[in-house]
Structure 1
Amino acid sequence: MPSSPRDAPPDFASNAAIWKTANAEAFTPLVDAAPYFAVLRSALLKAQRRICIVAWEFHSQTELLHQEADDGYPTEIGPLLNALLEEREDLEAYLLVWDYALIYLQEREWKIFSNWLNNPHPRLHFVSDETAPTGASHHQKIVTIDDSIAFCGGTDVSISRWDRIEHRFEDPDRVNPDGKPYMPYHDIHAAMTGEVVDALQEVVSERWLHATGSNLSALPKDQRHDIWPEDLDKRFENVPLSLSKTEASPLDSPSQIHQLHLDLFAAAKSFIYIENQYFSSESLCVALAERLKEKDGPEIILVLPLDTSGWLVESTVGLLRDRLLERLKEADTYDRLRVYYPLTQGERDKSQAIYVHAKLIVVDDRILKIGSSNLSNRSMSVDSEIDFSLAFEKTNDSIASFRQTLIAQHFSAEPKAWQEAEEKEASLASCFDAFSRKSGQRNLQPLSYGCDSQLKRSLADTQLLDPEDPIDPEFLIQKNLDKQERSRTWKNVLTLFVSLSCAALLGLGIYWAWGSYFGKEEAIAFTESLSESPWAPLIAFCLFTFGGTAGIPLNAMLITVAVVMGSRFAITYGVSGAIVSSCIGFALGHALGKPLIRKLGSGAVDAVSRKLGERSFRSVAFVRLLPIAPFFMVNMVAGASHLKFKEYLIGTILGMAPGMCMVVLLANRIEATARNPSWGTTLSLLLVVGILVLGMSYLRKSLGANREQSPPSHA
C-alpha cells in the first residue's frame, strides 16, 4: 500500500547526521540481487544520454537475468553496456570503481584476462578510483541513468551477488563465470526517482571530479524521462529521503553516518530491527547496550551472517563481533536482545547458512534506513559510504508491511502469518522465538557467539582489529600534528621503518639460509664447493632471473652470489639474469596495466612514473642509477607506461651495469678483508666504499639541482 504523502518526517536526526533531504517521487526497496539486477537491466535499456555506476566492485561478466531475453540485448552487464553504446550515439557510460587493495586481488576481474577491460568502447569511461587513503576504501554503490532514476544500497553489480529471494540450497544459476557455485546471498538495495536522484548524481559527480579532475554536469531537464520499470511496484510515493555520507578522507568531512546510527538507536521506543554484514563498532555497541539497560527500552533484533567472509576477516572482525555481542548480552537485563543468522534447508536434512550482506535498520516501523554502511568502524569513519533514511512521526503501514514481508521470507512463511503472529504475541522478540523453532525451507536460527579465552577478549577490546582511522601514515600524521611538525615527523618515521625492516629481513635471511654454517670453517667449505659446482652458472642466472621477478632486492642477490660463488659469476650471470628479469617485469607491467601496478606502492611508483614519463633511455638509466624504487617495481612501472621497449632495454643496460659492478667489487673486497685481513685489503675496501659514497652524493646533488630548475607539480 503506497504511503500517504501527507505524513511529515520527524526531526529524529540531528543536523550532523544528515547531508541532504530530497523528495522521492517513487521509492522501492529491492530485496536480493535477482529482482534488483532484473529491474536494473530494464532501466538500462531505456538509457539515452548517460549511465553512471559507482561501485566498490564491478565485474563485466555479471549476469543480470539468468534467463533468455526476448528483447535481443545481452544479459551480461559488460556486453549490454557495449550494445547500448554501439546503438545509441548520444549515450555515454561512466564507471568509477574503487582501486581495490591487494587482499582482494583474487576476487576481482583482471585486466590481463578481460577483453572488455582491454578493449573498451570509446564512450565507455572506466576509472579505478585511487583517491582513498591507505587502509580505506570507496564502498558506495550507486547507479544513475539519465539523471532520471537511481539505484542505491548494499549491492554491487558484480559476481557472487545474484540470488533469488527463495535462497535455495542448490541453485544451478547461482554460479560465477568460471562455473563455481557460491553460497546463498542476501542483500537489500533500492530504486528511486525524483529530486533524490539529483542528490545522488551530485555524489557521483563529486567522486568523479575528485578521481579524474573532470566534471559531470547535471543533464538538462528536457533530457530526462520516465525510466521506472513497468513491472516494479512503487511502494512509497512522494516521500522525503534523507541522505547521509561518510568520506574516505574524514579530516574535512566528519562522519554523518556514525551520528545517524546513534540517532536511530536513540529514537527507538518499541524495537530496533537490524540486518548487517558486520558488527564491530564499539561506539554503536555501547549505544545499543545503553538502550538494553533501560527498563522500558526497545527490543533489539540482529540478523547477521553465521560467519564473516574468509579466515582473515573471521579472525579479526569476527572476533570483534563475538566480543561485542558478549557485551550486549551482559547488558540485556530484561531479555530484549535476539541475534540470528539465516539458514536454508536442502534434502536429507542438509542445510547451509545464507550470507547476509544487507545494511538495513527499521525503528518502530516509522523509520527505515538502507545503504552501504556496515556496523563497523570502517563504515563509520574510514570508508566512503552512502545511506538514506525514510522517517515518519508515527508507525507507517508501508514500512511495517515491508519489514513483515522481509521477516516472513526469512522464515519461508506467508507475510499474513507473520502479521497475525505479531498481533497475537506479546512482543516482537517472542514472535522470533516462536518462529525460529518451526521447520521450513528457510529459517532464522539463534547465533552462537562469545570469546573462548581472556586473551581474545583483551585483543578485541583494544579495537585494533577495526581501527577508527585509515592506517595511512600520511593521514595519521596530518590528523595529529601541525604543518611544521609533519614533514620532519614523516621523514623520521619513514627512515626508522625502512631501517628496522631492512635489518630484520637481512637478519632473518642470513639465519634462514646459513644458520647451520655460522662456523668459519663450515662456511668457507660450503662456499668453495658451491662455486666449483658445474651447476653454478645456471644457479646464478636463475637466481637473478626469477629472484628479480619475484621482488628479491637486486643488491642482496649480487652480494650473496659474489661472496658465495665469486665476482666472475656475479658480474657475468648476475647482469645477464637481471636484464632478463627486467624484461619479464616489463612484460608483466605492460599486461597488468598502471591501476594494478600502483598497488605496489604510492610515493615510489609516482617518482618512477614521473621520471619515466620523459620516455627516453636516459630517464631509464637515471632511475636505475639512483635507488628511488625497488628493482622489480621499476620494471613493472616501465611496462605499464608508454615507454618503448628498445629505450627501456638500452637504459636498463647502461644504468644497471656500472652500479652492479661496483656492488660486486664491494662484496669482493668485503670477502677478501674477511678471509685475509690486512692493511692492503682494508684500504682497498675503504677505497671502494669511498667511491660509492662520492658517486651517490654526486648523483643526489644532480637530482636536487634538476628539481630546483623544474616547475612545481600541481596536485
Structure 2
Amino acid sequence: MIQNSHGDDNSAAAFFDPGRNCWRVPTAGRLALVIDGELYFAALRRVIRQARRELLLIGWDFDFEIEMLPGESDEDGNAPDGLPNQVGAFLEAVVEQAPDLHVYILKWNGAVIIAPGRLLSSVSVLVSSSDRIHFALDGKHPFGACHHQKIIVADKSFAFCGGIDVTENRWDTSEHLPDDARRIGKDGAPLAPWHDVTTAMTGPAAEALGELSRARWARATGETLTPPDAAARDIWPDNLKVEATQIKVAIARTEPPYDSEPLINEIECLFLDSISMARETIYIESQYLTTKTVCDALCARLSADDAPEIIIINPEAALNGFEDKSMHALRGRAISRLQAADRSDRFRIFNPVNSADEPIYVHAKVMIVDDTLLHIGSSNLNDRSMGFDTECDVAIHGHADLICDFRDKLLSEHLGVSPEHFAETLRREGSVIAAIAGLNPRQGRGLRPIVPSSETVMGKLLADTRLMDQRYFDRHDSKAGEGLRPRHIAMAAAGFAAAYVADKLWKHWRRK
C-alpha cells in the first residue's frame, strides 16, 4: 500500500492547476483502482448496503433489470448476501432496511432512445418503489450531447468515479473467458468480452464528487439536495484492496456551454499537459481515438528527437456498424497521422483478444505517463469528451510505485501473464514496446495490431461531417462548434417525416 509523502504533494501542486486542467485537488483518505466489472459490481453491492443517508447514482445509463452478480442467484433471485440480485429490486430492499436513506438516480435521457426497453424498468422503479428512491432523466445539455459521467457516492464518505456504467454488457472477469455462461444478456444471448476501469476513494475526494453530483442533479431537475449533516462514515468494501492512503486526487471535468454557462474543458487541458511532460512512455486505453487536439499533441511528441513510446489500446471495432463507419474512419485517419509522425518507431496501437482470439471490447478510459501521472475517468479520446458531453475524470501525480504497478497490471492482463512476469520482462528489455513484443503470442490471449480498414462512402461522409463526434471550442458561445450539427439532421428528418405523412394523407383523401 502506498502512503502519501510531502514530496508527492508538492509534485501534484506543481502540475495540477485548478480552474484550468482540473476542478479541485482534494485528498483521498483511501484509494483503490478497480479493473473490470466482476470486482466493481461486487464492491458496489457492499458500498450500497453500507449507505445510511444518501446514495447518489449519476450515470450515462442504469439498467435496473441486470444481475449485479451473474450466475450467483438462488431460486428466489437473491444473491449470496440474501438480497435481490437485480439492481432495481436490490435498491428497494436496501432502502427498506435503511429508514433514513434516500437514493437519487440520474440517467442521461438519450439512453432511453438508444435502449427504449430499459425505460420500462426505470418507470417501474419510480412508480412501485419507495418514495425515498428518486429517479430523473438528465436532458440539460445541448442537443446531441449526452451526460456521460459515471459517479456513485455514498453518505459523502465513499465514491466511485471512472468508466463503468451500471448497465447491461459491463460485467466481465479479468480473464475474459470465451463462452463464459455468466456473460449473457437479459434475452439469454451471449455478450462479448468487456474490459473496463474505475476508481474508488474516501475522504475529501469523495465529498467533492458528492458535491459535483448534487450540482448535476440540481441542474437536471431544479432541486437542490442538502448533503447529509452527519459526519462522514467509514465506508469501504472488504473486497477492494486499499492501494494508497492520504493521496491527492485531481478531479477534472468537461461540461458544454449551456444556459449561459461557459465551456469547461479541464479534461482536455489535463490530457495535453500530460502528453507534453512525457519522457519515456505514454500508455492509453480508450474506446476511441479521434480527438484532434490530443492527436496533434501525440504527433508532435512522436516527431521530436526525444519521442516517448506511445502505446494505445483500443477495441477492434465499434459496437455497431454505423458507429464503426463514423468513429473508426476518423480513427484510421488519426492512426495514419501518428504513423507518419513516428520517426523513431515509437508508436503502437493494439486491440486485446482472449484465449479464443475473440476481440475484447475496450471501454476503459486510462492514460498513464511514465511513472508520474495516472488519469482515469469517463472521457474518451474523442472530441465529444473534450468539449460536448458531460464528463468527470480523476488523476494522480507522483506515487511512481502505484502508477507503474497499475500499468503493469493492465498490460499483464492483456498479455495473459502475471504482473510480476511483465515487470521483470520490462526491466530486462528496458521499454514497454519491447516487453509487449517479448510476451505477446501470435495466437491466444494477447494484443493484436490494429490495421485501419478502407473508408466506405458512408464512412467518409460521417467522418467528414463529424456527425458522431461534435464539440464546442468557444468558452461562451453555446452555438459554436464544428461540423454538421445533429440539429440539422433532426430538422431534415422532421421535414421528411412531415412530407411523408402529408403525402399519405393526400393520397388517402384522393382515394375517398
Measured after TM superposition, the shift of residue 456 of structure 1 is 6.3
TM-score (norm 1): 0.65
Q: Which residue of 1 aligns with 2:241?
A: 233
CA contact (8 A) 2:375 2:395 kept: yes
Letter in 2 for 1:289: C
One-letter code aligned to 1:245:
R
Pair 1:195 & 2:142 matched:
no
Q: Structure 2: any 5+ residue segments left out of the alignment? A: 74-78, 482-486
1:303 is aligned to 2:320: no
Partner of 1:353: 359
1:165 shift after superposition: 0.7
Tell me how far apart the structure 1 counterparts of residues 301 and 165 of structure 2 sit (CA, whole Å): 33
Q: Within 2, Cα distance between the matches of 1:357 and 1:188?
A: 8
Q: Corresponding residue for 2:329?
A: 319
Counterpart CA distance in 1 for 2:440 and 2:374 is 24
Q: Say yes or no: does 1:245 pair with 2:253.
A: yes
Aligned to 1:99: 109
CA shift, 1:438, in A, is 5.5
Classify the secondary structure of the residue corresponding to 2:166: coil
Counterparts in 2 of 1:345 and 1:61: CA distance versus 1, 3 Å: same
Q: 1:209 to 1:63 in 2, by over 3 A?
A: same
Letter in 1 for 2:151: I
Query: Residue by residue, what CA displacement relative to the aligned partner does 1:357-398 show, whole Å, maximum 9, x if unpaired?
Result: 000011102110000000000000000000110001xx6111
Q: 2:511 aligns with which of 564, 572, 594?
A: 564
1:54 aligns with 2:63: no
State the partner residue of 2:29.
25
Q: Against the structure 1 CA distance between its residues 501 and 341, is the aligned structure 2 distance closer, same or farther, given a 3 Å change threshold?
A: closer
- Name whichever of 118-127 and 415-424 sits farther off: 118-127
Amino acid at match of 1:266: S
Secondary structure of 1:433's aligned partner: helix
Contact 1:5 1:237 in 2 (8 A): no
CA contact (8 A) 1:24 1:241 kept: yes
> How many Å apart are 1:110 and its aligned residue?
2.7
The separation in 2 between residues aligned to 1:113 and 1:40, in whole angstroms, is 19
Seen in structure 2, the aligned counterparts of structure 1 residues 439 and 195 have a Cα distance that, compared at 3 Å, is same
Structure scoring higher RCO (CA < 8 A, sep ≥ 6) equals 2
Paired with 2:313 and 2:82, the residues of 1 have a C-alpha distance of: 40
Match of 2:173 in 1: 164
Secondary structure at 1:59 match in 2: coil
Deviations 1:231-254 (A, max 9, x none): 321101100000111114365133
Map of 2:131 onto structure 1: 122
Q: State which structure, 1 or 2, has the greater radius of gyration over its C-alpha atoms.
A: 1
Counterpart position of 1:379: 385
Length-normalised TM-score, structure 2 = 0.90
Provide the C-alpha distance between the structure 2 equivalents of 1:87 and 1:504, rounded to a whole number of angstroms.
50
Q: Could you say what secondary structure the match of 1:352 adopts?
A: coil
Distance 1:103 1:448 in 2: 33
Partner of 2:5: 5
Q: Which has the higher helix share?
A: 1
Aligned residues: 490
Matching residue's letter, 1:449: P
Aligned mates of 1:324, 1:76 — CA distance in 2: 41
Asked whether the equivalents of residues 39 and 229 of structure 1 are also in contact (C-alpha less than 8 Å), the reply is yes
Residues 257-656 of structure 1 correspond to what in structure 2 (within 5 A)? 257-346=267-356, 351-392=357-398, 396-437=400-441, 439-440=443-444, 442-449=445-452, 451=454, 460=463, 463=466, 465-469=468-472, 475-476=478-479, 479=480, 506=499, 552-553=501-502, 556-565=503-512
**Structure 1: unaligned runs, 5 residues or longer:** 481-492, 510-551, 566-715
Alignment RMSD (CA, Å): 2.6
Query: 1:295-353: per-residue Cα shift (whole Å, max 9, x none)?
Result: 1121100000000110111010111011111110010010000111000123xxxx310
- In 1, distance between residues paired with 2:207 and 2:251? 12
Which amino acid is the alignment partner of residue 407 of structure 2?
A: R
Cα distance in 2 for residues equivalent to 1:249 and 1:439: 47
1:149, 1:197 within 8 Å by CA — same for their partners in 2?
Answer: yes
Equivalent pair of 2:159/2:209 in contact (CA under 8 Å): yes
CA deviation map 1:471-501 (0-9, x unaligned): xxx942xx49xxxxxxxxxxxx99xx68x97
Residues 22 and 250 in structure 2, CA contact (< 8 A), matched pair in contact too: yes
- Partner of 1:680 in structure 2? none
- Aligned-pair distance for 1:105? 2.9
- Cα deviations across residues 226-278 of structure 1 (Å, max 9, x unaligned)? 11112321101100000111114365133111111111111111110000001
Select 1:39's aligned residue among 43, 48, 59.
43
Match of 1:206 in 2: 215
Cα displacement (A) at 1:564: 2.8
Rounded to whole Å, the distance in 2 between the matches of 1:420 and 1:112 is 49
Identify if the C-alpha distance between structure 1 residues 468 and 181 changes in structure 2 by more than 3 Å, giving closer, same or farther.
Answer: same
When residues 61 and 296 of structure 1 are mapped into structure 2, their CA distance, relative to the original with a 3 A threshold, is same
CA separation of 1:502 and 1:314: change in aligned 2, threshold 3 A: closer
Determine what percentage of the aligned residue pairs are the same residue.
Answer: 33
CA distance in 1: counterparts of 2:139 and 2:248, whole angstroms: 33
Offset of residue 459 of structure 1: 6.9
Confirm or deny: 8 A CA contact 2:263 2:387 kept in the other structure: no
2:325/2:456 contact within 8 Å kept: no
- Provide the rounded CA distance (Å) in 2 between the counterparts of 1:563 and 1:219: 66
- Listed one character per residue, the Cα deviations across residues 427-475 of structure 1 (whole Å, up to 9, x for unaligned) are 21111122223655x21111112545899679746645522239xxx94
1:75 CA displacement: 2.1
Mapped partners of 2:63, 2:243: distance in 1: 30
* Cα distance in 2 between the residues matched to 1:501 and 1:146: 45
Pick from 140, 148, 153 the counterpart of residue 157 of structure 2: 148
**3-state SS of 1:209 partner:** helix
